[in-house]
């Protein structure tokens, strides 16, 4: 029976469904994509831009503002800390989002997290760290929080009609549209957000610098922002690579980028590098992962270990390096290849009057000044209205003072309570508000002393009202109030910069080094400036050297392929290279013309080549005027791999000869008057200045000069002591009869 009934019901419902007709069902409707976007997508996009992702002129997104205002209303500005879960729960009355999103907002505003230069939330417990991806915050039921001291400045006079209030999402509460911040918080704390079709990325600046810049702009609209706002400043420290042109673009347009570089120290005892501050745009884990990847790829062979040693003393990444590795050179390589140096992209996109605008620093500060001027004006108007109301009531007291008994008589002789106010109004000629005030005075206050004391306030009130009206009608007066508030903030909250400034043109330039094969070679340099690099095998198999007509070899040096070469020119300049940068050749070719290969100036010729494995020893410069300059070889070493050095030696006197010596040696100097001096370079002190004038070694008569210099070898003179001298300068000695033979000397 049951099955029959159910089958009948099914049949009946099927018949009913067949009779139902839905208009337009199954019909394909073509709708323009622009209409679909305008109807469905644009409202969502505008909601994200205006109500979620882009900060407003007070420096806060709606989620920030709702959280901080809730904490303010909970009395957490001056009270003790309470559980974060309680704050999150109360914030949900204003913020229609989940507790996780609200708690995440509070974490990012907290002192413990460390993302802001000047945090708004004073935290207790584990709030994670901005510089770590893996150090997550504890649950909201474990942590505690309250408003930080600086929050006094974002809620100052909020109860004096300084900003507008609107209903919350369910109409049960009021919340501020903006917060009446007394300083340009929009630039003081970093703020980033991604909306629909646009984004915002505002770097943080030093509080003192921002406030001082605002003051200067209010005093002088043409103030040059860079004079007081040096560069961005970050809570995590690090160093900013200062590029004046890049920062000027950011300051003027609100768009651009700059580079941040980590700070490190070298622990010589443990042969390791300790990184203590990193850019705000990266994390410890990202840096370590990148370094490990490079080590595995064989691009970093100087690192033996890397680990995270962050603890209660703060951030620390330790890099163990191999013995003999230059830590500074390794860090230059790491800056190039890892996030230890990273870029911060700026996009100063801020909502002003509900419209997103990308502004430079000056325009942004001017907008903030306009906003703050409105807040101060509304505060003065509120205070003025309250004082006028108070004065209005005191005028009624002043009239009652003339006849207190009359006031009492009117009240006592009035039969109905509702007639007391009208009778007082008629009896003293006062309005309803004044009559209400008089009627509410306590019986004990109906004495002359109380009334006289109150009436005496009239004069002060009238003066205060006049001052307020003067200020309200004067732009200068309101400007001075804002300036004074900013100066007080500088005194109370300004801190030294945490991010150092290093200038880009002072940084050593990193160039990726290739593996240079090191093998024995012989280097040849000719008088005409030609260079050859020949391997020992090729040299044994070679015949005579091919040279230009009249050219001859001046230097032959046995060394290895990885040797630094210093080419000194006749223009007092030095060009640096390396033997590995020249191709191996044969004696049967002319070789490389150095002046062309190293792009020397027109008419500039190389006159001497020094080959160094290390920058040790000395460069000796012999001049026609009899002076010799002894320069430390290390003076020609440059950390930024410069290829050209100016003022490589002095130009005060023509150069006769150049020598590179690893240790002091003896030389024979010949003068134009036929005298010879056997000179040891150890007799003069070395200098670090490359263009030093030198020390007088030879005493020359007028019209004479130094002619040539030769390296001294044993047997060159029959009696060497004849030409040596104990005192400098010396005039030298003429060749003896024994030394005149060609077999003895070939100077």
Is the domain of 457 the same as that of 540?
A: no
Kindly give, in sequence order, each residue whose CB lies less than 8 Å from that of residue 693, ignoring residues fewer than 6 positions away: 627, 629, 650, 652
Catalytic residue of the set 41, 142, 395, 552: 142
- Dihedral over alpha carbons 235, 239, 240, 242 (to 10 degrees): 140
Is the domain of 279 the same as that of 410?
A: no
Is the domain of 530 the same as that of 602?
A: yes
With respect to residue 28, please indicate whether it lies within any of the assigned structural domains.
Answer: no
Is the domain of 602 the same as that of 706?
A: yes
Number of domains in the chain: 4
Which of residues 313, 339, 365 is at a domain's end? 339
CATH number at 289 reads: 3.30.1360.40
Query: In the chain, what is the straight-line distance between the N-terminal and C-terminal CA atoms, in Å?
Result: 138
- Identify the pLDDT of residue 510: 61
With respect to residue 39, please indicate whether it lies within any of the assigned structural domains.
Answer: no
What does 398-427 look like in DSSP terms, one character per residue? Answer: HHHHH-HHHHHHHHHT-SSGGGHHHHHHHH
Q: Tokens for 118?
A: 């000047």
Phi, psi of 521 (to 5 degrees): -145, 160
- CA atoms in the 13 A half-sphere facing the CB of 331: 19
With respect to residue 679, please indicate whether it lies within any of the assigned structural domains.
Answer: yes
What does 443-500 look like in DSSP terms, one character per residue? Answer: GGG-SHHHHHHHHTHHHHHHHHHHHHHHHHT-HHHHHHHHHHHHHHHHHHH----SSE
Residue pair 259/341 in contact by the 8 Å Cβ criterion: yes
With respect to residue 486, please indicate whether it lies within any of the assigned structural domains.
Answer: yes
For tokens 């044969």, the residue is 586
What does 327-369 look like in DSSP terms, one character per residue? Answer: HHHHHHHHHHHSTTEEEEEEE-EEEETTEEEE--HHHHHHHHH
Q: How far apart are CA 685 and CA 643, in angstroms?
A: 28
The secondary structure of 118-134, three-state, reads: CCCEEEECCCCCCCCCC
Is the domain of 477 the same as that of 539?
A: no
Residue pair 669/677 in contact by the 8 Å Cβ criterion: yes
For tokens 């300084």, the residue is 162
Q: How far apart are CA 158 and CA 153, in angstroms?
A: 10
Is the domain of 480 the same as that of 399?
A: yes
With respect to residue 571, please indicate whether it lies within any of the assigned structural domains.
Answer: yes
With respect to residue 214, please indicate whether it lies within any of the assigned structural domains.
Answer: no
Is the domain of 544 the same as that of 660?
A: yes
- Dihedral over alpha carbons 261, 499, 344, 334 (to 10 degrees): 10
With respect to residue 359, please indicate whether it lies within any of the assigned structural domains.
Answer: no
With respect to residue 504, please indicate whether it lies within any of the assigned structural domains.
Answer: no
Q: How far apart are CA 703 and CA 683, in angstroms?
A: 26
CATH number at 648 reads: 2.120.10.90
CA-CA distances (angstroms) from residue 307 to 234, 284, 315, 413?
A: 24, 10, 12, 92
Q: Measured in whole angstroms, how far is the alpha carbon of residue 96 from the centre of its chain?
A: 36
Find the domain containing 72 and state its range.
47-181
The verdict on whether 530 is a catalytic residue reads no
- Mean pLDDT, consecutive 10-residue stretches, the chain (747 aa), reads 48 53 73 81 81 89 94 92 95 89 94 94 94 92 95 93 92 93 94 86 95 95 93 94 91 93 92 94 94 88 91 91 89 92 93 92 95 94 92 83 79 82 85 83 75 82 91 90 95 94 79 70 92 90 86 91 91 91 89 90 91 91 92 85 85 91 91 89 89 90 90 85 84 82 48
DSSP-based three-state secondary structure for 741: coil
Q: Measured in whole angstroms, how far is the alpha carbon of residue 528 from the centre of its chain?
A: 51
Which of residues 318, 339, 360 is at a domain's end? 339
Which of residues 151, 181, 211 is at a domain's end? 181
Is the domain of 304 the same as that of 163?
A: no
Is the domain of 144 the same as that of 289?
A: no
Q: Measured in whole angstroms, how far is the alpha carbon of residue 396 from the centre of its chain?
A: 63
Kindly give, in sequence order, each residue whose CB lies less than 8 Å from that of residue 356, ignoring residues fewer than 6 positions away: 49, 54, 195, 198, 349, 350
Is the domain of 715 the same as that of 586?
A: yes
CATH number at 102 reads: 3.90.199.10
Residue pair 137/113 in contact by the 8 Å Cβ criterion: yes
Is the domain of 410 the same as that of 323?
A: no
Is the domain of 530 the same as that of 487?
A: no
């Amino acid at each position: 029976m049951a099955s029959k009934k159910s089958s009948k019901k099914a049949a009946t419902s099927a018949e009913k469904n067949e009779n139902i007709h839905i208009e337009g069902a199954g019909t394909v409707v073509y709708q323009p994509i622009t209409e679909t976007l305008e109807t469905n997508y644009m409202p969502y996009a505008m909601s994200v831009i205006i109500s979620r992702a882009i900060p407003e002129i007070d420096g806060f997104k709606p989620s920030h503002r709702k959280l901080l205002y809730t904490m303010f209303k909970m009395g957490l500005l001056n009270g003790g800390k309470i559980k974060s879960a309680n704050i999150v729960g109360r914030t949900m009355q204003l913020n229609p989002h989940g507790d996780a999103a609200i708690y995440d907002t509070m974490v990012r505003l907290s002192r413990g997290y460390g993302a802001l230069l000047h945090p708004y939330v004073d935290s207790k417990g584990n709030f994670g760290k901005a510089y770590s991806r893996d150090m997550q915050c504890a649950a909201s039921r474990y942590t505690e929080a309250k408003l930080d001291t600086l929050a006094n400045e974002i809620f100052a006079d909020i109860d004096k009609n300084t900003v507008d209030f609107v209903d919350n999402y369910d109409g049960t509460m009021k919340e501020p549209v903006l917060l009446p911040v007394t300083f340009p918080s929009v630039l003081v704390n970093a703020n980033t957000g991604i909306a629909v079709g646009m984004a915002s990325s505002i770097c943080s600046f030093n509080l003192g610098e921002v406030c001082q810049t605002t003051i200067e702009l209010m005093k002088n609209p043409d103030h040059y922002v860079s004079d007081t706002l040096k560069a961005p400043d970050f809570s995590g420290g690090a160093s900013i690579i200062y590029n004046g042109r890049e920062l000027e673009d950011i300051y003027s347009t609100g768009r651009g980028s700059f580079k941040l570089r980590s700070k490190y120290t070298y622990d010589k005892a443990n042969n390791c590098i300790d990184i203590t501050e990193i850019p705000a745009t990266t994390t410890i884990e990202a840096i370590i992962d990148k370094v490990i990847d490079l080590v595995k790829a064989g691009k970093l062979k100087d690192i033996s270990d890397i680990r995270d040693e962050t603890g209660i003393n703060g951030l620390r990444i330790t890099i163990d390096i191999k013995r003999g590795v230059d830590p500074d050179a390794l860090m230059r390589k790491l800056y190039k290849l890892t996030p230890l140096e990273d870029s911060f992209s700026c996009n100063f996109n801020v909502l002003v009057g509900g419209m997103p605008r990308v502004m430079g620093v000056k325009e942004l500060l001017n907008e903030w000044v306009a906003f703050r001027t409105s807040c101060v004006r509304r505060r003065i108007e509120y205070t003025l209205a309250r004082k006028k109301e108070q004065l209005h009531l005191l005028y009624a007291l002043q009239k009652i003072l003339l006849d207190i008994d009359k006031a009492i008589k009117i009240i006592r002789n009035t039969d109905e309570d509702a007639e007391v106010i009208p009778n007082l109004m008629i009896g003293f000629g006062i309005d309803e508000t004044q009559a209400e005030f008089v009627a509410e005075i306590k019986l004990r206050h109906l004495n002359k002393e109380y009334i006289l004391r109150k009436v005496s306030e009239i004069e002060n009130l009238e003066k205060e009202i006049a001052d307020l009206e003067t200020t309200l009608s004067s732009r200068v007066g309101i400007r001075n109030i804002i300036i004074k508030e900013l100066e007080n903030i500088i005194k109370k909250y300004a801190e030294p910069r945490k991010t150092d400034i290093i200038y880009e043109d002072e940084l050593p330039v990193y160039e990726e080094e290739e593996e240079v094969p090191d093998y024995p070679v012989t280097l040849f340099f000719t008088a005409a400036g030609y260079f050859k690099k020949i391997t020992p095998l090729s040299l044994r198999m070679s015949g005579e050297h091919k040279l230009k007509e009249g050219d001859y070899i001046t230097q032959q040096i046995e060394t290895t392929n990885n040797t630094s070469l210093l080419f000194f020119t006749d223009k007092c300049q030095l060009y640096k290279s390396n033997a590995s940068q020249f191709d191996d050749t044969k004696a049967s070719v002319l070789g490389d013309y150095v002046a062309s290969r190293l792009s020397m100036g027109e008419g500039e010729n190389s006159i001497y080549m020094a080959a160094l494995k290390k920058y040790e020893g000395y460069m000796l410069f012999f001049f026609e005027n009899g002076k010799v300059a002894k320069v430390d070889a290390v003076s020609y070493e440059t950390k930024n791999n410069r290829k050209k050095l100016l003022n490589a030696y002095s130009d005060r006197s023509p150069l006769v000869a150049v020598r590179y010596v690893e240790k002091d040696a003896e030389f024979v100097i010949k003068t134009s008057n036929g005298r010879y001096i056997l000179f040891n370079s150890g007799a003069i002190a070395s200098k670090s200045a490359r263009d030093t004038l030198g020390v007088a070694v030879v005493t020359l008569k007028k019209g004479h000069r130094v002619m040539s210099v030769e390296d001294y070898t044993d047997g060159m003179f029959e009696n060497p002591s004849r030409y040596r001298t104990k005192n400098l300068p010396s005039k030298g000695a003429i060749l003896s009869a024994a030394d005149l033979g060609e077999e003895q000397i070939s100077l």
